[in-house]
Chains A and B, each alone.
Chain A
Amino acid sequence: MNRRWIRIAWPLALLLVFAGTFRRAPGGRGSSGGSGVSCAPGRQGTATIADLESCVALDPIDVEAMLSLASAYEAAHRGGDAEAMYRRALTIEPHDARAHVALGRLLLARGDTDEARKEGETALRWHVGSAAAARLVAEARAR
């Protein structure tokens, strides 16, 4: 009798083991990662330059972080870094009118009116009727 129970028990137990192990490889939700900095767009306004640089490093296509970082560079009178960051954002989003206008403003402040006007015109092509872009073009033409 005991022998019969063993003969039933082992395939049954193994069947349960099979059912229990029939699962996908762990880690399907991606690797752990993150710098501890919140890179959510809404929280980027209060972040420091170092935080924003971390965000850009963490997600190299995060245009919002790039624009926030460029703006922070501008505020810190780091015009070269700001321009580079705006241009980097535009390589990812070539039609982002906000980046074109912001870059145009930077160029206009530097006295590069032709380039500023071109940025404004590009912005107007994608953000048709935008008052900010139209103002940039008008100011660049007026100078």
Chain B
Amino acid sequence: MTRAAAAAAARAAHAAFLLSIAAFSFLSYSPFAYAQFIKPNVVPDLNDFVVLSPWLFAIAVLVTILTLLPALRDGGVKGSGAARAYVAAASAAALWALWRKPLITIGDSIAGLYIGLGALAFVAALAIVDHAVWPAPPVTTSDRARAARACVLAAAAASAAYAAGVPFRLHQAIGIEISAYGFAVGFAGALAGTLFVFTAIFLALIVAMTIAEAARNPPVVEYWLFVALLASAATLVFYFLVSAAIAWTGRGAWIASTSLGIAIAAAWSDIARLRSQSEIRNPQAATAVDALSLFSSPIAASRASAVVVLAALPFAAYALASAVSHLDWNFLLQKLGVLVVWVASLAAMHAAAAAPAANRPPRVSDTMLLFLALIALALYQGVMRLPRSSDALLDRYAAVDPSLRLIRDAQVTGSADTADYYAFLRSQTLVLPQSVHAPDIAFVDRLGPARVRPPHIFLFIIDSLRRDYVSVYNPAVTFTPQIARLAADSFVFDRAFTRYAGTALAVPSIWAGGMTIHTLEQYDFARRNTLLKLLDANRYVRMMDYDHLVEELVPHDANSMQLDRGKTTMEIDVCATTVELEQRLTERDATRPAFFYSLPQNVHIAVATRLQVPASKYPGFYAPIAASLERIDACLGGFVDFLKARDLYDDSILIVTSDHGDSLGEEGRWGHAYFMVPEVMRIPLIIHLPPRLRAGVAVDLAALTFSADIVPSLYALLGYDLKDLGRLYGRPLFTPTDADSSWRWRDVFLVASSYGAVYGIVRQNGRRLDVIDAVGGRDAAYDLSSGLLGRPVEETRAMSDESRREVAQQLGELAAVFHYHADR
């Protein structure tokens, strides 16, 4: 390996490391990403990265010094001053990082933005140093015909690379079947879409080439215009794809995205400069490098390396998607992987499309290029005008082909009225806490001690537990016998839903007993914490976990007894918690009732997927989740036995439910993110009551219920007369025997994503779910009356309009309660 090649490899590692630092810092600065990923420690490996980062930076600086040694030693060498300045600044920064360990203490502060920008500045600065130290290669203008060939062939190669993985991804996905005809339609759609994208790239390239013709040194200007195009494209990708996915918009997001775009382009041109040094040393080849070849050189500098890249493409396409699919956020990482594959494909095809000088094909005219572009446009338009049945085939294929998913999700949707409606939804979503006035919510005026002796209350909210993974809802389940034993002695609610498709708002809605304004920071929550008011009015001792959400909802005070002290949210485990709970119950003050709350993470996809479980052990189920659930089940059963042994069971309300469900491969989805789909919205709800509270109440087990009904139900069971706060709030599940519960069957209920402008309407007693997705830009409807998870259906325009009206009306009611005005 030459010194330049070694330096190029070092620069790639240097850039990858500092881009990772910047990404982490920007995620910390984004309130949404910090609250959802970093604070709850969703990816524990990030901790290691944070701890090691100062040492890794020091190593990166040392390696950089080694690669710059000739320039550092000899002050007369071109660029030595820049190299020395860089090394001085980088060394100072490395020492500071070792001393202050900034990523550990970064928190959710402006420091995240500054540290991220600082990290990217070192990437750009090193590129400047290398451009000063290493000589520029001789460059010629690019060959348009070769660029055209490369774009067409790259589109075909990228589509084929993803198509090759479709059978394997189909095997992993649930609920998708694709016939040979469906595969053909899907592949044709993916090919047409990819060709459309690559033709657009080609058009941008020839605009750059033509502009460069007017310059004094066209080849050099051409090359730098390509670098500028890369910076612009990367900026747009970071802003509209990455930042949008983590609900980060505005000036800060633009600054971060632009800096990332510039840093990537700088690192790219740095590596291109270093890889071109072999061309400089080879006088025969020195005149052969055109601007686009130089630009492509970080991926493939020769036909031989191009062949290797192209051969590896299907494997890379499959591996990049599979490695991140379970932990992905709204397919973001898979989409970024597609962009990487596309860039690699284009660069490799350009290198492979080089023709020997002797039989170089004739130049193609602009007319021919225009004709080719129009063919690509016509093909794309043809696919877009396929009949609806074929469009459904494309949707199905997109579920197992990330490249088609990226293309379809990027397409602009709909009419002006839809755009206006989506803008309205976005204005009601993730609103700033300071624009909201939290109301004082009370189910009971002048709340005093209950009329009945308060029972103990045990509230298990198992994060991400799906309804169809519990045997009382799905007879095929064999791994929840203890929950089934509890259910036999409890009320099992058949149509339970969450109001929010994500923990961040689902948990506050349970404590509040109703919907909440869409904001991530629940300021003044004590005013509407109806569960806490009930507990305090009845002198409950709160033995509970303080996960990162409840930490902000419930105070630590004389009535609280924290369990799992020192654990992060993602470490909360039912089995360990119940052991500690049993001990606390044994030692408790027997004159006071006990309340327990926990949000165990055992079946959360970020936790359960760490288990290695053979799929054959749980046929028909995702084995890591099933195995985790089997363990939870045993511990819950043990806890019920403990209550029985201590004569507490018949004096306890025991609730087992979840904050939301999860996608486990349905149509290629994993996790929940912005997904508002049946497997995420439907939850289990099992409530055991003491015999003394069962008498004299009625409960409609087949009626639509929400987890937000739990708290008003507790009020009712304790004998309070509740005010009806309206349809945005929960209502008691347990009523007087002559009460009318038919409204549950008739009414339409608002549901929402916790993280983005995705809203839905649950109607017809939970048989229908209509979804309006302003994030993905498409509406959907599900018929939940058949099967365990229902099926997607086409809705009529009338029903869609009705759902939109309902969502707007109920969001308006919610905004009025919280004195929120979007334009404030």
Say yes or no: B701 contacts A31, CB within 8 Å: no
**Cβ contacts B76-92/A at 8 Å (1 or 0 each):** 00000000000000000
Complex CA gap A126/B701 in Å reads 5
Chain A residue at smallest Cβ distance from B412:
A23
User: Which residues of the other chain, A, contact B411 by a CB distance below 8 angstroms?
Assistant: 22-24
Contact of B698 among A4, A18, A127 (CB under 8 A): A127
Chain B residue at smallest Cβ distance from A12:
B207
User: Which residues of the other chain, A, contact B577 by a CB distance below 8 angstroms?
Assistant: none
Q: Check if A63 is an interface residue, CB within 8 A of chain B.
A: yes
**Cβ contacts B758-793/A at 8 Å (1 or 0 each):** 000000110110000000011101010100000000
**Cβ contacts A80-96/B at 8 Å (1 or 0 each):** 00000000000011011
Say yes or no: B737 contacts A14, CB within 8 Å: no
Complex CA gap A132/B735 in Å reads 13
Contact of B700 among A14, A26, A63, A127 (CB under 8 A): A127
Contact of A10 among B196, B370, B746, B794 (CB under 8 A): B370
Say yes or no: B698 contacts A130, CB within 8 Å: yes
Q: Check if B745 is an interface residue, CB within 8 A of chain A.
A: yes
Chain A residue at smallest Cβ distance from B367:
A10
Q: Check if B726 is an interface residue, CB within 8 A of chain A.
A: no
Q: Check if A57 is an interface residue, CB within 8 A of chain B.
A: no
Q: Check if B320 is an interface residue, CB within 8 A of chain A.
A: no
- Stretch from A33-41, A46-54, A109-117 at the B interface: A33-41
Given A23-B411, A134-B737, the answer on whether A14 and B797 have CB atoms closer than 8 Å is no
Complex CA gap A126/B388 in Å reads 41
Q: Check if A15 is an interface residue, CB within 8 A of chain B.
A: yes
Chain B residue at smallest Cβ distance from A35:
B798
Complex CA gap A30/B385 in Å reads 15
Q: Check if B279 is an interface residue, CB within 8 A of chain A.
A: no
Say yes or no: B410 contacts A31, CB within 8 Å: no
State how many angstroms separate the Cβ of A9 from the closest Cβ of chain B: 9
**Chain B contacts with A in 788-824, Cβ cutoff 8 A:** 794-800, 802
User: Which residues of the other chain, B, contact A63 by a CB distance below 8 angstroms?
Assistant: 745, 764-765, 767
State how many angstroms separate the Cβ of A66 from the closest Cβ of chain B: 11
Say yes or no: A30 contacts B764, CB within 8 Å: no
**Chain B contacts with A in 728-778, Cβ cutoff 8 A:** 737-738, 741-742, 745-747, 764-765, 767-768, 777-778
Say yes or no: A23 contacts B796, CB within 8 Å: no
Total count of chain A residues near the partner, CB < 8 A: 48
Say yes or no: A128 contacts B370, CB within 8 Å: no
Contact of B203 among A11, A22, A42, A132 (CB under 8 A): A11
Say yes or no: B413 contacts A30, CB within 8 Å: no
Given A8-B211, A130-B700, the answer on whether A18 and B200 have CB atoms closer than 8 Å is yes
Given A4-B214, A17-B377, the answer on whether A29 and B207 have CB atoms closer than 8 Å is no
Say yes or no: A28 contacts B779, CB within 8 Å: yes
Say yes or no: A92 contacts B199, CB within 8 Å: no
State how many angstroms separate the Cβ of B216 from the closest Cβ of chain A: 15
Q: Check if A2 is an interface residue, CB within 8 A of chain B.
A: no
Q: Check if B356 is an interface residue, CB within 8 A of chain A.
A: no
User: Which residues of the other chain, B, contact A29 by a CB distance below 8 angstroms?
Assistant: 414, 418, 779, 795, 797, 800
Question: Which residue of A23, A25, A92, A131 has the most chain B CB atoms within 10 A of its CB atom?
Answer: A25
User: Which residues of the other chain, B, contact A14 by a CB distance below 8 angstroms?
Assistant: 203, 370, 373-374, 377
User: Which residues of the other chain, B, contact A95 by a CB distance below 8 angstroms?
Assistant: 494, 701-702
Contact of B414 among A24, A62, A129 (CB under 8 A): A24
User: Which residues of the other chain, A, contact B385 by a CB distance below 8 angstroms?
Assistant: 25
Complex CA gap A126/B492 in Å reads 10
Question: Which residue of A24, A26, A62, A97 has the most chain B CB atoms within 10 A of its CB atom?
Answer: A24
Q: Check if B69 is an interface residue, CB within 8 A of chain A.
A: no
20 contacts across the A-B interface (CB closer than 8 A): A4-B210, A11-B204, A14-B377, A19-B200, A21-B384, A23-B414, A24-B414, A28-B413, A29-B795, A29-B800, A31-B796, A32-B798, A34-B796, A59-B799, A61-B764, A126-B702, A127-B699, A130-B698, A131-B738, A134-B737
